[in-house]
Amino acid sequence: MNPVFAVAIKEFQDGIRNRWLISITLIFAVLSLGLSYYGSVASGQLGVASLSSTIASLSSLAVFLIPLIALLLSYDSFVGEQESGTLLLLLTYPISHSQLLFGKFLGQGAIITLATCLGFGSAAFLLAIQSDFVGVVPAFSLFILTATLLGLCFIAIAYVISLSVSEKSKAAGIALMIWFFFVLVFDLALLAILVGVEDGLSQQQLVQLMMFNPADLFRLINLSALNTGDVNGVLAVAIDQSRSQETLLLMMSGWVVAPLAVASLVFSKKKL
């Protein structure tokens, strides 16, 4: 068997054994079904919320939840095995550094992908049977695709962290700081610039800055087709000037490839 697939299968089986797949799927399913059904409570109604409101609510939820879960899943992928001595043992087998890295990425990426499809797909199914499949399927397909890319992006970032430190505790601390920066600090800084700088930023400049945050790319892609009444903060300013969905998807894919390439370079030079 190809070494990459052998490692991927091992990582996927470990995820099932450690209840990662079941836990993530249940979290996504419960929250997405809750938002889909009770999302209209604020307007005084009880029932399935509109597709627009559901996507907006799920995007706001997922941008906090998915990066954190991906980082927690992967932050100790290498430093944990290095501390236990199994990483050095693995490399005594006929497998290269890059094969081990991509094998782990495929296995843990499969966990995030499957959990995202099953968890958020449950909300799509609920909306589809309550309304029509024609409108729900394309919107949720895009949402699940970008949610998966967001998870893969932060798995790759976690690998860079895991390969750059020598202790699991340091990796965990850095991972939490990375999560805090991308989901909270980055947007707050942009908002401060918009409010505090005399000339401010043009919409085009704001969108360009948001390209440096995969979480903002995720929200831009999913919210750009919605009524801006469902959106607030810096996104409400940026959405009208956002680029095509194809361009944004390509940029988001770059956020998966770039950290993975950095992790591969760091791993190849790492002394064990």
Rounded Cα distance, 21 and 12, in Å? 9
pLDDT at 127: 77
pLDDT at 42: 46
pLDDT at 228: 47
Nearest CA among 76, 132, 60, 63 for reference residue 108 = 76
Does residue 29 have a pLDDT over 80? yes
Tell me the pLDDT tens digit for each residue of 246-272.
888 999 999 999 999 999 999 988 776
Question: Which is higher by pLDDT, 46 or 189?
Answer: 189
Rounded Cα distance, 54 and 72, in Å? 26
Report the sign of the C-alpha dihedral through residues 158, 250, 125, 54, in that order: positive
pLDDT at 240: 52
Rounded Cα distance, 126 and 232, in Å? 26
pLDDT at 11: 92
Rounded Cα distance, 146 and 187, in Å? 19
> Which residue type, as a one-letter code, is found at position 41?
V
Confidence of residue 70 (pLDDT cuts 50, 70, 90): very high
Number of domains in the chain: 1
Confidence of residue 200 (pLDDT cuts 50, 70, 90): low
Q: Taking residues 49-65, what's their average pLDDT?
A: 81
Question: Which is higher by pLDDT, 122 or 44?
Answer: 122
Tokens for 105?
């990425």
Expressed as residue numbers, the domain containing 178 is: 3-269
Rounded Cα distance, 235 and 189, in Å? 13
Tokens 């495929």 correspond to what residue?
A: 106
Rounded Cα distance, 240 and 4, in Å? 43
Does residue 88 have a pLDDT over 70? yes
| Average pLDDT of the residues of the chain | 83
Does residue 48 have a pLDDT over 60? no
